[in-house]
Chain A
Amino acid sequence: MPETTFLDSTELVLNMGPQHPSTHGVLRVILKLDGEKVMGTECVIGYLHRGVEKIGENRTYLQFAPYVDRMDYVAAVSNGLGYCLAVEKLLNIEAPPRAQVTRVILTELNRVASHLLWLGTHALDIGAITPVFYTFREREEVLKIFENYCGARLTTHAFRIGGLQYELYDGFEEQVKAFCDMFLPKVDEYEELLTNNRIWVNRLKGVGILNADECKEFGVTGPVLRAAGVSWDLRKAQPYSGYEQYDFEIPTAQNGDTYDRYGVRMREMRQSVRIIRQAVDKIPAGPIGKTPKVIKPPVGEAYVSIEAPKGELGYFIVSDNSTQPYRVRVRPPSFINLQALDRMVRGGLVADVVAIIGTIDIVLGEVDR
């Protein structure tokens, strides 16, 4: 709590959202203000609650896969990967190598797309209008690859349990390589626009600090945790889908403020491109995997998590040896990261709230499920 001022004025309660452009969806934040200082917040969420977990209990394993794309709709491929891995774990099967490498390429492309959307909207929130046009232009190229591969741009439903549904199209490698070559100079361009820009720096430096201990206490993962100096990435810590074969670094920063999180995400995009380049060069030949005819995992439960663009995305599935899951629990990174919002904005200014909501990178579809 900030110290009370001698002009002890009464608290002002300000309602932000749910129809506010900078809350990135239907998030409502009730701010308690003392002048321009934020004394406390309360998040009201659930406007987009569709009961995804309940739907999961009433669909077969295969049928539930398209629904998970609709949680974090800017990173649908990651959602699908996590779900497929969880069911594969329960069935004790593994996708063939060709499928795994393809999965890695598409998920990393999706990470780039998700970070690009974040960068554009975050900059827009701070008042920089230009980057959003550029990032959407590059994101379009990623979406075109998705569209060519599986026929959908956002809610891709790209993977199936046990492997892939679609064989790679002709020219996939070339298109992905061309994207990588085109993309890296564009990242430099974004950095030219923002990294040294005085308004950007002044708005972000020292805002919304969350140190490593607080991150762990609040279960915050993803770029927010890495910006606080914890070099932890599930792709390295508990590799899945063959991530151990690729050579990449985990970008970290020390201060844990909004500016550092920006830097971490920018470097993460470059690392993603690095992974994609390595993966495209060695797509093995072979089968792409087949969905088992009957998916009836033995009784038991498993928790599988992956490093989604926003943090640790986990699926906890309980099976009762029927074709439908007994319980599907999704551990959504956005939901849990959003909880730390209160800690980050306390004592800051109202204008910083917008910056901080942007920097956590939430997607309300995932917060509310």
Chain B
Amino acid sequence: MNKFLRSIFLVDLFQGLWVTFRNQNPKYIYTEQYPGERPKVAERYRGAPRLNINPDNGETLCIACNLCALACPETLIVVGSERNEQTRRKDLTTFTYDLSRCMFCGLCEDACPVDALELTQDFELAAYTRDGAIWDRQMLEEGPRPTRYKF
């Protein structure tokens, strides 16, 4: 009987509608107004790579040890180096990073002994061409410059 009454008065449906009604409350709004409002990503976010430079003298921190290139599962990092006769160390000449194949796993970052290579919080990596996704040393040191929109 009870069951019959419940089904006559559509109790189950109103129960559900009441849930949806409760969720109309503006405090449940979750939508982010990207790109007008840029989301804040986590500190450890693994986004665009950056090759760190020493802030004091502008020299690169990379010691051209090639460990990142060896660690990468996709072998997409190419480190070019030249032997410096004076310091008897290797100097970094070129550094290419093929973003189009990167899966942001962070293994290269873990492998770097001097924290020169770092995955940063930049997440806007779209490019108009395939070649645009291949970053050279300059690009890696400067980082991406996404357009900022204002609404």
Direct contact of A and B (CB under 8 A): yes
Chain A residue total in the interface (Cβ 8 A): 31
B105 touches A157 (CB 8 A): yes
Considering only CB atoms, which chain A residue lies closest to B110 in the complex?
A165
B71 touches A193 (CB 8 A): no
Considering only CB atoms, which chain B residue lies closest to A140 in the complex?
B30
Q: Which of A13-21, A62-70, A111-119, A274-282 contacts B (4 or more CB under 8 A)?
A: A62-70
**B41 surroundings in chain A (CB, below 8 A):** 147
Q: How far is the CA of A65 from the CA of B15 in the complex (A)?
A: 46
B106 at the interface (CB under 8 A from A): yes
B16 touches A67 (CB 8 A): no
8 Å CB contact of A59 from B19, B45, B73, B110: B73
B13 at the interface (CB under 8 A from A): yes
Size category, B interface: 20 to 34
Shortest Cβ distance from residue B25 to the other chain A in the assembled complex, whole angstroms: 13
8 Å CB contact of A192 from B16, B43, B107: B16
Considering only CB atoms, which chain B residue lies closest to A198 in the complex?
B12
Given A197-B13, A197-B16, decide whether A66 and B44 contact each other with a Cβ distance below 8 A. no
Shortest Cβ distance from residue A46 to the other chain B in the assembled complex, whole angstroms: 22
B42 at the interface (CB under 8 A from A): yes
Chain A residues 113 to 142 lying within 8 A of chain B, measured CB to CB, are 130, 134, 137, 140
Q: How far is the CA of A137 from the CA of B25 in the complex (A)?
A: 14
Q: How far is the CA of A166 from the CA of B110 in the complex (A)?
A: 10
B95 at the interface (CB under 8 A from A): no
8 Å CB contact of B107 from A66, A70, A130: A66
**B86 surroundings in chain A (CB, below 8 A):** none
Shortest Cβ distance from residue A55 to the other chain B in the assembled complex, whole angstroms: 8
Given A66-B107, A155-B103, A165-B110, decide whether A192 and B30 contact each other with a Cβ distance below 8 A. no
Given A147-B41, A149-B44, A198-B13, decide whether A62 and B19 contact each other with a Cβ distance below 8 A. no
Given A66-B103, A137-B30, A151-B106, decide whether A196 and B12 contact each other with a Cβ distance below 8 A. yes
A255 at the interface (CB under 8 A from B): no
Considering only CB atoms, which chain A residue lies closest to B10 in the complex?
A198
B23 at the interface (CB under 8 A from A): yes
Q: How far is the CA of A63 from the CA of B107 in the complex (A)?
A: 8
A181 at the interface (CB under 8 A from B): no
8 Å CB contact of A148 from B13, B23, B42, B110: B42
Given A148-B43, A169-B44, decide whether A193 and B103 contact each other with a Cβ distance below 8 A. no
Interface core residue of B11, B15, B18 (most chain A CB under 10 Å): B15
**A67 surroundings in chain B (CB, below 8 A):** 73
Given A66-B105, A151-B119, decide whether A198 and B7 contact each other with a Cβ distance below 8 A. yes
A213 at the interface (CB under 8 A from B): no
Considering only CB atoms, which chain B residue lies closest to A59 in the complex?
B73
B20 at the interface (CB under 8 A from A): yes
A166 touches B44 (CB 8 A): yes
Shortest Cβ distance from residue B78 to the other chain A in the assembled complex, whole angstroms: 17
Q: How far is the CA of A196 from the CA of B110 in the complex (A)?
A: 51
B45 touches A147 (CB 8 A): yes
Shortest Cβ distance from residue A61 to the other chain B in the assembled complex, whole angstroms: 11
Contact pattern, A 170-197, Cβ under 8 Å of B = 1, otherwise 0? 0000000000000000000100111011
A12 at the interface (CB under 8 A from B): no
Chain A residues 12 to 63 lying within 8 A of chain B, measured CB to CB, are 59, 62-63
A152 at the interface (CB under 8 A from B): yes
B137 at the interface (CB under 8 A from A): no
A91 at the interface (CB under 8 A from B): no
B46 at the interface (CB under 8 A from A): yes
**B72 surroundings in chain A (CB, below 8 A):** 63
B46 touches A193 (CB 8 A): no
Considering only CB atoms, which chain B residue lies closest to A128 in the complex?
B16
**B12 surroundings in chain A (CB, below 8 A):** 196-198
Shortest Cβ distance from residue B12 to the other chain A in the assembled complex, whole angstroms: 4
**A155 surroundings in chain B (CB, below 8 A):** 103-105
B106 touches A134 (CB 8 A): no
A-B contact pairs, 14 of them (CB 8 A): A59-B73, A63-B73, A63-B107, A66-B73, A66-B105, A140-B30, A144-B42, A147-B41, A148-B44, A155-B103, A155-B104, A155-B105, A157-B106, A198-B13
Residues of B bordering A, CB below 8 Å:
7, 11-13, 15-16, 18-20, 23, 28, 30, 41-46, 71-73, 103-107, 110, 119
Across the A-B interface, the 6 shortest Cβ-Cβ residue pairs: A66-B105, A63-B73, A151-B44, A151-B46, A196-B12, A147-B42
A-B contacts besides A144-B42, A150-B46, 18 pairs, CB < 8 Å: A62-B71, A62-B107, A66-B103, A66-B105, A67-B73, A130-B16, A140-B30, A148-B44, A149-B44, A150-B44, A151-B42, A165-B106, A166-B44, A169-B44, A194-B16, A196-B11, A197-B16, A198-B7
